[in-house]
Amino acid sequence: MMMTRIFAAALAAVGLSATAALAVEGDAHAPENYAWEFEGPFGTFDRNAVQRGYQVYQEVCASCHSMNLMRFRNLGQKGGPFESEEYPNPNDNPIVMQIAAGYQVEDGPNDDGDMFMRDGLPSDAFPAPFENEQQARASNGGAYPPDLSLIVKARSGGADYIRSLLLGYEEAPEDSHLSPGQYYNAYFAGGAIAMAPPLVDDIISYDDGTTASMEQMAEDVVTFLTWAGDPHMEERKQMGVMVLMYLFIFAVLVYLAYRQVWRNVKH
């Protein structure tokens, strides 16, 4: 009897905390489910979308968000947006070299002990927009723009959530309490986000001529961020298919062997 009661109380407690957790999450809209090309066991990245997404990151998001785990050469590696058969070593890839050379990087010290600036190289990291977290917060009304290297994995809802967030700015409802520098976004927990709507139609002009609508840019930048957080996804899926084929052929062989072995046995 006692045991049953304790058990029931424990169950109730678990139930309560689960509802409490839901209530907190219930604050935000569930992200819209979007049909990504890279989803599913055979999904691959749309190479053009990853390229355009890099352009969106570089021209829009990079002024506030770092991607500390990325180096320019990653852009030209196998599966990357600027992968090229001609240049298996991304350090030799002219597009990657050109992108890197567009940045000035501090290097040194030289023989006199001084630091100096030089053109970026493929082996350099993506430059961070701020020196440190304090400076980033000071420039963003106290809020910290998180590093985007692994952001798709770091948020529940992943790619769907980030796409919804980028497209989810709305007129604030009457009862929302926005501080100065906050914007209303129903997909963000709490509704008040310190990031101004980063995307507006035609805020950039795509190198490949695609129309830069908000939806297009959101889809592209999220595809790029998904690739950046999981650059070996395609190889992993290919490996999965090979393993399944192997298992299938193996199963057929086992079946034939079984027939052969039991050929003369009455059963």
Restricting to residues 207-266, name those near ligand HEC by CB under 6 A: 221
Question: Considering the rule CB under 6 A, would residue 167 count as an interface residue with ligand HEC?
Answer: no
Question: Considering the rule CB under 6 A, would residue 64 count as an interface residue with ligand HEC?
Answer: yes
64 is in an annotated binding site: yes
44: left (phi over 0), alpha (psi -120 to 50) or beta: beta
232 is in an annotated binding site: no
The sign of the CA dihedral 63, 66, 67, 68 is: positive
DSSP notation for 175-190: T--PPTT-EEBTTSTT
Query: What's the CA dihedral at 171, 172, 178, 182 to 10 degrees?
Result: -30
CA 18: distance to chain centroid? Answer: 28
User: Which of these segments, 69-77, 84-92, 118-126, 144-152, binds ligand HEC (CB under 6 A)?
Assistant: 144-152
User: Which of these segments, 61-69, 206-214, 231-239, 258-266, binds ligand HEC (CB under 6 A)?
Assistant: 61-69
267 is in an annotated binding site: no
Taking the chain, what is the end-to-end CA distance rounded to the nearest angstrom? 55
Question: Considering the rule CB under 6 A, would residue 63 count as an interface residue with ligand HEC?
Answer: yes
Question: Considering the rule CB under 6 A, would residue 163 count as an interface residue with ligand HEC?
Answer: no
73: left (phi over 0), alpha (psi -120 to 50) or beta: alpha
Residue from the set 28, 49, 60, 159 that interacts with ligand HEC by CB under 6 A: 60
Q: Where are the beta strands (DSSP E) in 127-250?
A: 183-184, 192-193
Residue from the set 58, 140, 176, 210 that interacts with ligand HEC by CB under 6 A: 140
Restricting to residues 175-194, name those near ligand HEC by CB under 6 A: 193-194
Question: Considering the rule CB under 6 A, would residue 162 count as an interface residue with ligand HEC?
Answer: yes
Q: Are 152 and 229 in contact (CB under 8 A)?
A: yes
Binding residues for ligand HEC, rule: CB under 6 A, are 56, 60-61, 63-65, 140, 143, 145-146, 151, 155, 162, 165-166, 193-196, 198-199, 221
